[in-house]
Structure 1
Amino acid sequence: MSELKRTSLFQVHQNHGGKLVDYSGWSLPVQYEGITAEHEAVRTAVGLFDVSHMGEVEVKGSDAEAYLQNLVTNDVSILEDNQVLYTFMCYPHGGIVDDLLVYKYSKEHYLLVINAGNIDKDFSWMKDNKRNYDVELNNISEEISEIAIQGPKAEEVLQKLTNEDLSRIGFFYCKQNIDVAGAKCLISRTGYTGEDGFEIYLNHQDAEKVWKQLMEAGEKEGIKPAGLGARDTLRFEATLPLYGNEISEKITPLEAGLGFFVKLNKENFIGKEALVKQKQEGLKRKIVGFEMVDKGIPRNGYEIVADNGQIIGFVTTGYQSPTLKRTIGLAIVDADYNELDTPINVQVRNRLLKAKVISKRFYQKNYKK
């Protein structure tokens, strides 16, 4: 068995009493004090996450914009310098290679932030589709640490460590070379929780110092370190997809209800033909929200069964929602069953439990626009 990779904050997690688990080959904390306490801290105050396992790829060159326009589903050409874009890379059949963020520094220089478990696959895909574009691709994932500070008090806490006016960084914008506690950082107003907050990219040697200073700066505001468990419950309540659950090689962005990030009017991109066809023919299945009527926790992969006994889909994510105090989930089901209040059943081990389709808008996102 290969040794788990460690982030530059590994010792910090041990010092905080983090319960470390294997996540995509990395040793990362699933929780510290507890998932619910960490979740509530982010919803009401501020939480700190180590997301250094994420991947980063630089795209440079005179054809950088054209290359990315072909590679991803969203429209890179509309970006201003220092703006961030959420998008997908798709296979020719329309399934998803990965979801990612595109940071535009200039028309000839971009940073792509990709999922930890997909780094090697994604980078190979990017290189395989380089064609004749004049671009240079650099996988710099192992050179960068990343800290996410999230919650309604995130700006207040981070502002104590920098002279940069953070209120001037808009939602899905970034700024380079910001001094945070003496460290040079890239800061973006982004995150994966449904709350306002920032993601801080920095050198490994500065990560522990910045983490400790953020924890000290946020003591009065009730800052807590937060693990992968809270990261998942937070993103789920905000209906943010997780690769391998709501989106995958076998689930297209349109089936996932994320067509907003697919610009079918673009000249061309990998997967466009398949997605145009899927839209024209009508979706045969969709991601829906549901709430349990019977008692039980739906888990990823559990079958969804219609009242007539037919298997019509499966659960992608399910939880007892810490914020809503209800047992809810997301599932991909046959399109005939996507109407609100449609009765469905979830196969939980050897029991068939009643549930009903509800809106996917579980939680009102609180971003600073």
Structure 2
Amino acid sequence: MQNLKKTALFDTHEKYGGKIIDFSGWQLPVQYEGITSEHESTRNKAGLFDVSHMGEVEIKGKDAFKFVQNLVTNDVSVLEDNQVLYTFMCYEHGGVVDDLLVYRFDEEHFFLVINAGNIDKDFEWMKMNSEEYDIELMNISDQVSQLAIQGPSAQEILQKLIDVDLTQIHFFYCKRNVNIDGVSCLVSRTGYTGEDGFEIYLDNDRAEYVWEKLMEVGKELGLKPVGLGARDTLRFEVALPLYGNELSKDITPLEAGLGFFVKLEKDDFIGKDALIKQKSDGLKRKIVGFEMIDKGIPRHGYEVWADGKQIGFVTTGYASPTVKKNIGFAMVPIEYSKLDTPIEIKVRKRILKAKVVSKRFYTKSYKKV
């Protein structure tokens, strides 16, 4: 795997027995002791993830708020200082450039967290759309490591090392310059698993130290390192999208069933006109959940059939570790999107029966206030 990037924790992953793969140009662990056990540990106790491959962009200047408000689909005006928002950047035609988190530090200072495979593309898109704004754009992705500790025991574990009361960091809020065993960090109550937990941003040269301290104090509470495999099964069970699967240049947020994060009543944002038209014309297709009836595991890219013809494709599919069923998401024409609609999935050369079900396979366990 020559020419692939490494996070500051690469040697640590090898120490813990991580099976390294190429993910969006990065050498990252897909698993340690096994996807299922890591998944179950996160659901029932706690899991620790290296997500340092994610990108970070800082925006400063008197027009920072106006720029971000025009850049994304959600309404940034609702944010308080140190609050976080999930949203999309869209192309003019309504397809998705990326999904991201927006952190507001103040009206002239924002922090965006973007997907690893999209860092260069996203930053070019931001620069291209920033010319009319008095701002400074900084891609600081190479300077920042990111750890995520997720699960029912996450707060108890992190509290052993941190100098703030974690009950005071509410869901989708952050606190800057907190001290984790002597290391200055940004900590937010966010994550990608459906469980309560925190994401920690810190300098690369301190990432290994904080990882090891968390593993040390979390051992008695069942903390395990978790790879990309379980990260995907965890997010999938709680219907969180993955760019390149449920979202892309060719799939709009409305087709993905994520219209809640698209505020069409905003004054303006890139892609607004196209999304208004798509909504007023009525969706022609959408992503649905499905459950296998016949025995077989669906996978990304498999064909979806009905009435003797191919009608769509699977965006994500797994044997779910939590609900113990073979389930997936699929893009289908709107007329096949109602609950209990019979469909078929082509698994290798076999056409297997399935049915449309709710995408809410597992109930999220976030700690909201």
With the shorter chain as reference, the TM-score category is over 0.9
Deviation at 1:336, TM superposition (A): 0.2
Q: Which amino acid aligns with 1:117?
A: G
2: distance between equivalents of 1:94 and 1:358? 26
Which residue is 1:99 aligned to? 99
Gapped runs of 5+ residues in structure 1?
none
Unmatched runs of 5 consecutive residues or more in structure 2: none
Give 1:58-77 correspondences, 5 Å limit: 58-77=58-77
1:218 aligned onto 2:218: yes
Q: How far apart, CA to CA, are the structure 2 residues paired with 1:181 and 1:297? A: 44
Q: Which amino acid aligns with 2:300?
A: N
Query: Aligned partners of 2:208 and 2:12: how far apart in 1?
Result: 7
In the other structure, the counterpart of 2:256 is 256
Matched with 2:272 is 272
Alignment partner, residue 363 of structure 1: 362
Task: Give the aligned partner of residue 152 of structure 1.
Answer: 152
Distance 2:295 2:53 in 1: 36
Q: CA RMSD in A?
A: 0.7
Alignment of 1:56-205 (within 5 A): 56-205=56-205
Aligned pairs, number: 368
Letter in 2 for 1:145: S
Percent of pairs with identical residues: 69
For residues 118-153 of structure 1, the C-alpha deviation after alignment (integer angstroms, 9 at most, x for no partner) is: 000000000000121111100000000000000010
Give the drift of 1:2: 4.8
Equivalent in the alignment of 1:20 = 20
1:32 aligned partner: 32
Output the amino acid matched with 1:354: K
- Quick one: which amino acid aligns to residue 325 of structure 1? K
Give the whole-Å Cα distance in 2 for the aligned partners of 1:152 and 1:366: 8
The alpha-carbon deviation at position 93 of structure 1 amounts to 0.4
How far apart, CA to CA, are the structure 1 residues paired with 2:65 and 2:3?
A: 38
Per-residue CA deviation, residues 323-368 of structure 1 (Å, 9 max, x unaligned), is 0000000001000011111100001121111000001110000000
What is the deviation of 1:109? Answer: 0.1
Amino acid at match of 1:77: S
What amino acid maps onto 2:197 in structure 1?
G
In the aligned structure 2, how far is the partner of 1:163 from the partner of 1:115? 30
Q: Distance in 2 between matches of 1:363 and 1:348?
A: 24
| Distance in 2, Cα, partners of 1:163 & 1:301 | 46
Aligned partner letter, 2:52: S
Cα distance in structure 2, aligned partners of 1:131 and 1:8: 34
Match of 2:55 in 1: 55
Letter of the structure 2 residue corresponding to residue 230 of structure 1: A
**Counterpart code for 2:241:** P
1:318 maps to 317
Match of residue 328 from structure 2: 329
Q: 2 CA distance for matches of 1:86 and 1:31?
A: 27
Q: Deviations over 1:238-290 (max 9, x none)?
A: 10000000010000000000000000000010000000000000000011000
User: Take 2:163 and 2:65, find their aligned partners in 1: how far apart are those partners?
Assistant: 32
Tell me the SS of whatever aligns to 2:220: coil
Q: Which secondary structure state, in structure 1, belongs to the residue aligned with residue 240 of structure 2?
A: coil
Deviation string 1:182-234 (CA, Å, 9 cap, x unpaired) is 10000000000000000000001111110000001111110000000000000
Q: Secondary structure at the match of 1:155?
A: helix
1:48-103 CA-to-partner distances (Å, cap 9, x unmatched) read: 00000000000111001111111000001110000000000000000000000000
Q: How many angstroms apart in 1 are the aligned matches of 2:148 and 2:254?
A: 29
Per the TM alignment, residue 23 of structure 1 is displaced from its structure 2 partner at its CA by 0.5
Distance of 2:333 and 2:39 partners within structure 1: 32
Report the residue type matching 2:273 in the other structure: E
Q: Are 1:7 and 2:7 an aligned pair?
A: yes
Q: In 2, distance between residues paired with 1:303 and 1:188?
A: 39
Q: Distance in 1 between matches of 2:177 and 2:219?
A: 26
**Matches of 2:201 and 2:33 in 1, distance apart?**
25
Instruction: Tell me, yes or no, if structure 1 residue 352 matches structure 2 residue 313.
Output: no
- Please list every run of at least 4 consecutive aligned residues from structure 1 whose deviation after the TM superposition is greater than 4 angstroms: none
- Give distance in 1, aligned partners of 2:58 and 2:337: 40
One-letter amino acid of the structure 2 residue matched with residue 162 of structure 1:
I
What is the TM-score when the length of structure 2 is the normalising length? 0.99
For residues 298-329 of structure 1, the C-alpha deviation after alignment (integer angstroms, 9 at most, x for no partner) is: 111111101x2122110000000000000000
The equivalent of 1:290 in structure 2 is 290
Amino acid corresponding to residue 364 of structure 1 in structure 2: T
Provide the rounded CA distance (Å) in 2 between the counterparts of 1:104 and 1:136. 15
State the Cα deviation string for residues 2-54 of structure 1 (Å, max 9, x = none): 51111110111000000000001110000001000000000000000000000
